Amino acid sequence: MLLFSASFAFIHGRHEIAGGLCDDLLTTIVRAWDYRKPLFVAPSMSTCIWRNSFTEEHLGEIDGLGIMLIPPVPVNGDLERAMVEPATIISRVKASYKKQKMEQKEGSSSTSSGQV
Amino acid sequence: MDCSNPAITKAMSEGVRLHTVPRMPRILLAACGCIDALKFRLLCQEFSGWAKISVVFTKSSLRFIDTESLFPKGLNVYRSNSANELLQWADIMVIAPLSAHTLAKIVGGICDDLLTRIVQAWDRKKPFYVAPSMHLFMWKNPFTERHLKCIEEEHDITIITRKERGSMTVIEPQEDEDKGEECEIGAMVEPSEISYTVKIAHEIILTYYPC
């Protein structure tokens, strides 16, 4: 199983993903991604942009594709929404990976027991 | 005459008056930045045999196309703000190859270069063809289906294809079977086939809907 994790410093990157634009390597990979494999995004932007209706729409698009959002955390008295700490991203990705491995094991054991 | 071709069937059912005086059709050819832009010279040669052509490029397509050495003399190459002039001049528009990025820009209504400005301002009564070209992973991605559906329903662009997609027709990328699964590429249909499809559709329009 492959995991792909991306952190976006600006809203533009997420808008490109939601719109299917692909004018650089990162957005091209996302545009060609097989969504059966996990894809994580960890955005970072100002609180005003985070609460904007466009952002809500883009997040809906992303969610519809099966992309997993790691939401930003408020900083500077809720003026900014910062990307979560790298350790948090790593733990989320690890947890997802372990969960998927467990599901695969359970799936393979149930099929093998069914064959007996 | 191949009336099983969806583009030709559409031409027969939705005739468009292109001009009042019989003359060579004026075709605006456009290229986007993907590997199949290397075939653009061949595409120009195919079309120049039966039509007057002008060409438009996206910035990224110029990585694959040498505009100075590639084209015959007298061919109009546009890169700057001449959208209005081209919109009035052209009878038919063909984007081949159409990249996934430009497809997304058309769907999103983004017009940040000459090509996308022309697309957004195009007279929907005039025929418009596109031949997509993208990696097979991109072709199978849910975005592609969504974008093509949007073009079908909202933009009335005739996307040429071997497969019918409702009222719209698309020239679908080919699967390159020789290279094995790992290297399969959604290549643009051959220029001769694109030219043939557009030419036959144009002839049907003139036959069934004479000026």
Least confident of A77-91, B3-17, B195-209: B3-17
Q: Is B194 within a domain? A: yes
In angstroms, the separation between the Cα of residue A40 and the nearest Cα of chain B is 17
Whether B100 and A22 lie within 8 Å, measured CB to CB: yes
Residue numbers in A near B138 (CB within 8 A): 22, 31-32
Least confident range of B20-24, B45-49, B80-84, B125-129:
B20-24
Chain B residue numbers with beta carbons less than 8 Å from the beta carbon of A34 are 137, 141
**Which of B105, B134, B141 best tests the A interface by mutation, with the highest count of A CBs <10 A?**
B141
Range of B44's domain? 27-203
Residue with more model confidence, A40 or B203? A40
Of A19, A23, A65, the CB nearest to B142: A65
Q: What is the pLDDT of residue A113?
A: 58
Tell me the torsion sign for CA atoms B101, B107, B109, B115. positive
> Does B145 reside within a domain?
yes
Please report, for residues A25, A85, B132, the alpha-carbon distance to residue A70 in angstroms, rounded to integers and kept in the order given: 22, 10, 34
The domain that holds B176 is classified in CATH as: 3.40.50.1950
Q: Which of A23, A31, A34 sits opposite B143 (nearest CB)?
A: A31
**For residues A41 and B13, what is the distance between their CA atoms, to the nearest angstrom?**
47
pLDDT recorded at residue B168 = 37
**pLDDT tens-digit map of B48-79:** 899 988 888 887 898 788 776 655 556 667 65
d(CA B118, CA B115): 5
pLDDT of residue B14: 56
Band (pLDDT 50/70/90 cuts) for residue B10 is low
Domain assignment of residue B8, yes or no:
no
Split at pLDDT 50, 70, 90, the class of B47 is very high
Q: Given a cut of 50, is residue B30 above it in pLDDT?
A: yes
* pLDDT bracket for residue B85 (50, 70, 90): confident
- What is the number of structural domains in chain B? 1
Residue B209 lies in a domain: no
A49-74 pLDDT, tens digit each: 887 887 887 889 788 888 888 999 88
